[in-house]
Amino acid sequence: MESVEKTEKIAALLEEKFGAKRDAKARWDVAVVVAAEYLPNAVEFLKNDPDIRMDMLVDIAGIDYLTYPNHEGPRFAVSYAFKSTVNQGCRLRLKVLVGEDCPKVPTLTGFYDSADWLEREVYDQFGIVFTGHPDLRRLLNHVEFVGHPLRKDYPAQKRQWLSTNDFLLPELEKRLEKLGYRIVQRSKEVLPNDDEFLEGSIRE
Amino acid sequence: MIVLDPNGEKLNLMPLNVGPTHPATHHCIRLLAALDGETIVAGVSEIGYMHRGFEKMVERGTWQQVIPYTDRLNYCSAMMNNIAFCRAVENMFGVEIPERCKVLRVIVNELSRINDHFICVAAAFQDLGGTTPFMYAFNPREEIMCIWEKLTGARLTNSFARIGGLYRDTYDGFEREVLAALDSTEKALKDLHACLDRNRIFLDRTVGIGKISKEHAISHGWTGPCLRACGVASDLRKDEPYYDYETYDWEVVVGTQGDANDRLQVRLAEIEESVKIVRQALKRLTPGPVDIVDPRIRVPAHKLAYQDMEGLIGRFKSVYEGIRVPEGEYYSASECANGELGFTIVSDGSGHPYRIKVRSPSLNHVAAFSEIVEGLTLADSMATLPGLNMIAGELDR
């Protein structure tokens, strides 16, 4: 029960500092809706405040409200679940509402390592762009996949021809450069959309 | 490719694809490693080879129809996933399950955890060339599997939990067989420790290999035995207790080094703790109902459907329309064998889930994999992977 009071207090602080609003939909846990532009500041506060210490980004979930009954407001939402390993049992969800025409949210990769793949997954499944993400590629779906399957308007039965594997060499080079290596001579450059690379693929 | 290393020395690196189906990965994961001789200089990994669209599929069925899909998340301990999902939905309903159901769920949870940890340690040993411990671990595991057969009718994908109860009560002799399985588990643990603890070859291969620091692991979102191996005493069964876990007498196991050896040793020690919990739970197992009585949540028994109009209506509505989970959004987490299994659930109040996002522990572990193997030899990377217990079913969903 102690942790519940604590989370309530954190939510109140977020409301005060970052203009966040309590999410009325969260009836069983504490969630606050924060504007996209305040997200990095709010997360920095959550992570670094000595009393709060939300040091783990547990999950990022995309939500598409397209067919939600009587829904008003932006079409998408991104729900971030945080927890603290210091104040055990302390959890909080942050929600960012994202419009359909400009689905952009600032990245959290600067704060948490786990944000890397979790944001890639949301991008993959919903097409929400995380600005500033160092390597925003698809994660679960195939490199040739077209569309974002967890959007409500993506038909579940739709089939796509996917033939070639992810090349991955440019990513490896990027990783080497990040580690301080300098590429002198590259392996033969092949891009996933090269004709030569796609030879044998039935895709047009 | 030719590169200059940070000291300006010229190196000729070989990019090598490990996987997608490398024998030691057990599942499909691809690691593209830049090798300098035998050492991995840098790596990037690709997942998604077993992506079946769990989250899209569950949106098409009713709430109860999600349960068989959850079996296919971590299929080494299928029932833990069933229970984790059912617990999340029960929390949304705000119902309390009967005492016997709670205790049974604890027993099933902990036996599943034993199973899962055994297969992880066994496979890790097998990957390093030790077949004997594999058999030591699989004997008690087989006994538990036989209990599953009798209890649920299936060995692997059991679908045992139900929202508001269980598929059915136990059979005659369940307690006796569980006790026998626990005895063999303890015997196997002794044998395994004899194989592991002072085995020079094994220690050389795993001690100090694939190390990760506490802070790094937390930042990567590691949970479960992998995080505890780094020395963080974080276990949802203690931190956010459910099913009266706090009233059982057991300890959270933590490691010190956060290396491949610690991750396996923590698992073995957790089996001991699970055995303790199951022994205590068996003593608490008293006769009583396992299902809640509410036709809006738990479908009425078959018997009622044939005798009674309300029972028939209840079954009909529950099967055709699905149960109506209250509208709202919720994140619920449970401690599963691999770590925190979470469900972000969005309900629009209808009989079908609007959106269910699975937070799988494996995803966060594997995300760090390519980073922690940098600097290791290729062979050591394959000694690191089994300790993470990557399960493609929950990794790719």
Kindly tell me if the per-residue pLDDT of B36 is higher than 60. Answer: yes
> pLDDT tens digits, residue range B364-391?
999 999 889 888 898 888 888 888 888 8
Task: Choose the weakest-confidence range: A79-93, A159-173, B357-371.
Answer: A159-173
* Structure confidence at residue B202 as a pLDDT band (50, 70, 90): confident
Chain A residues 121-150 with a CB less than 8 Å from chain B: 121, 125, 138-142, 149-150
Kindly report the nearest CA distance between residue A17 and chain B, in angstroms.
24
> pLDDT tens digits, residue range A6-41?
888 888 887 778 777 888 888 888 889 998 888 898
Tell me the sheet residues that pair with A61. A79
Is B41 a member of any domain? no
Q: What is the 3-state secondary structure (H, E, C) of B68-112?
A: HHHHCCCHHHHHHHHHHHHHHHHHHHCCCCCHHHHHHHHHHHHHH
Q: Given an 8 Å threshold on Cβ–Cβ distance, is A81 in contact with B346?
A: no
Q: Report chain B residues whose CB lies below 8 A from the CB of A118.
A: 221, 363
- For residue A9, the 8-state DSSP code is H
* Structure confidence at residue A202 as a pLDDT band (50, 70, 90): low
Q: What is the 3-state secondary structure (H, E, C) of chain B?
A: CEEECCCCCEEECEEEEECCCCHHHCCCCEEEEEEECCEEEEEEEECCCCCCCHHHHHHHCCCCCHHHHHHCCCHHHHHHHHHHHHHHHHHHHCCCCCHHHHHHHHHHHHHHHHHHHHHHHHHHHHHCCCCHHHHHHHHHHHHHHHHHHHHHCCCCCCCCEECCEECCCCCCCHHHHHHHHHHHHHHHHHHHHHHHCCCHHHHHHHCCCCCCCHHHHHHCCCCHHHHHCCCCCCCHHHHCCCCCHHHCCCCCCCCCCCCHHHHHHHHHHHHHHHHHHHHHHHHHCCCCCCCCCCCCCCCCCHHHHHHCHHHHHHHHHHHHCCCCCCCEEEEEEEEECCEEEEEEEEECCCCCCCEEEEECHHHHHHHHHHHHCCCCEHHHHHHHHHHHCCCHHHHHC
pTM comes to 0.90
Is B388 a member of any domain? no
Query: Residue B188 is part of a domain; what is its CATH number?
Result: 1.10.645.10
Q: Compute the half-sphere exposure of residue A99: CA atoms within 13 Å on the CB side of its CA.
A: 4
Residue A123: φ, ψ to 5°: -60, -45
Residue A36 near chain B (CB below 8 Å): no
In this prediction the ipTM stands at 0.87
Is B217 a member of any domain? yes
* Structure confidence at residue B21 as a pLDDT band (50, 70, 90): confident
Return the SS3 of A38.
helix
Q: Given an 8 Å threshold on Cβ–Cβ distance, is A187 in contact with B216?
A: no
Kindly report the nearest CA distance between residue A140 and chain B, in angstroms.
4
Task: Choose the weakest-confidence range: A37-51, A183-197, B65-79, B142-156.
Answer: A183-197
* Structure confidence at residue A129 as a pLDDT band (50, 70, 90): very high
The token pair at B292 is: 């809640």
> Which of A72, A79, A83 best probes binding to B when mutated, by most B CB atoms within 10 angstroms?
A83
Chain B residues 211-250 with a CB less than 8 Å from chain A: 216, 218-221, 223, 227, 232, 234, 238-240
Q: Report chain A residues whose CB lies below 8 A from the CB of B232.
A: 85
Task: Tell me what the mean pLDDT of segment B319-348 comes to.
Answer: 90
Kindly tell me if the per-residue pLDDT of B343 is higher than 90. Answer: yes
Q: Compute the half-sphere exposure of residue A43: CA atoms within 13 Å on the CB side of its CA.
A: 26
Q: Report chain A residues whose CB lies below 8 A from the CB of B325.
A: none
Is B281 a member of any domain? yes
Chain A residues 82-111 with a CB less than 8 Å from chain B: 83, 85, 88-89, 91, 93
Kindly report the nearest CA distance between residue B8 and chain A, in angstroms.
8
Kindly tell me if the per-residue pLDDT of A196 is higher than 70. Answer: no
Q: Report chain B residues whose CB lies below 8 A from the CB of A173.
A: 1
Domain holding B96, by residue range, is 64-360
Residue B251: φ, ψ to 5°: -115, 150
Give me the number of domains chain B comprises.
1
The token pair at B138 is: 């699989």
Kindly report the nearest CA distance between residue B170 and chain A, in angstroms.
32
Q: What's the mean per-residue pLDDT of chain A?
A: 84
Residue A6 near chain B (CB below 8 Å): no
Is B16 a member of any domain? no
Kindly tell me if the per-residue pLDDT of B307 is higher than 80. Answer: yes
pLDDT at B258: 87
Q: Report chain B residues whose CB lies below 8 A from the CB of A93.
A: 331
Q: Given an 8 Å threshold on Cβ–Cβ distance, is A113 in contact with B44?
A: no
Task: Tell me what the mean pLDDT of segment A132-158 comes to.
Answer: 89
Chain B residues 309-348 with a CB less than 8 Å from chain A: 326-333, 340, 342, 344, 346, 348
Q: Given an 8 Å threshold on Cβ–Cβ distance, is B354 in contact with A68?
A: yes
Residue scoring higher pLDDT (B354 or B11): B354
Is B270 a member of any domain? yes
pLDDT at B296: 84
> pLDDT tens digits, residue range B252-282?
999 988 888 999 999 999 999 999 999 999 9
Q: Given an 8 Å threshold on Cβ–Cβ distance, is B6 in contact with A125?
A: no
Q: Given an 8 Å threshold on Cβ–Cβ distance, is B218 in contact with A55?
A: yes
Kindly report the nearest CA distance between residue A194 and chain B, in angstroms.
20
Is B371 a member of any domain? no
Cβ-based contacts under 8 A for chains A and B: 176
pLDDT at B361: 92
Q: Which residue's structure tokens are 């309390």?
A: B96
Q: What's the mean per-residue pLDDT of chain B?
A: 89
Domains of chain A: 2-157 (3.30.460.80), 163-204 (no CATH)
Q: Is cis: bond before B20, omega within 30 of 0?
A: yes
pLDDT over 70 for what percent of chain A? 90
Q: How far apart are CA B338 and CA B326, in angstroms?
A: 30
Q: How far apart are CA B343 and CA B339, in angstroms?
A: 13
Q: Compute the half-sphere exposure of residue A44: CA atoms within 13 Å on the CB side of its CA.
A: 10
Task: Choose the weakest-confidence range: B29-33, B265-269, B308-312.
Answer: B308-312
* Structure confidence at residue A103 as a pLDDT band (50, 70, 90): confident
Q: How far apart are CA A88 and CA A51, in angstroms?
A: 12
> pLDDT tens digits, residue range B159-194?
899 898 898 889 888 999 999 999 999 999 999 998
Task: Tell me what the mean pLDDT of segment B351-357 comes to.
Answer: 90
Kindly tell me if the per-residue pLDDT of B73 is higher than 80. Answer: yes
* Structure confidence at residue A192 as a pLDDT band (50, 70, 90): low
Is B391 a member of any domain? no
The token pair at B212 is: 């990760």
* Structure confidence at residue A90 as a pLDDT band (50, 70, 90): confident
- Count the Cβ atoms, other than its own, within 10 Å of residue A189: 10
Kindly tell me if the per-residue pLDDT of B103 is higher than 70. Answer: yes
Task: Tell me what the mean pLDDT of segment B144-162 comes to.
Answer: 90
Task: Tell me what the mean pLDDT of segment A40-61 comes to.
Answer: 88
Q: Given an 8 Å threshold on Cβ–Cβ distance, is A26 in contact with B42?
A: no
Q: Given an 8 Å threshold on Cβ–Cβ distance, is B4 in contact with A173?
A: no
Q: Report chain B residues whose CB lies below 8 A from the CB of A69.
A: 348-350
Q: Which residue's structure tokens are 């890397």?
A: A116
Task: Tell me what the mean pLDDT of segment A39-46 comes to.
Answer: 89
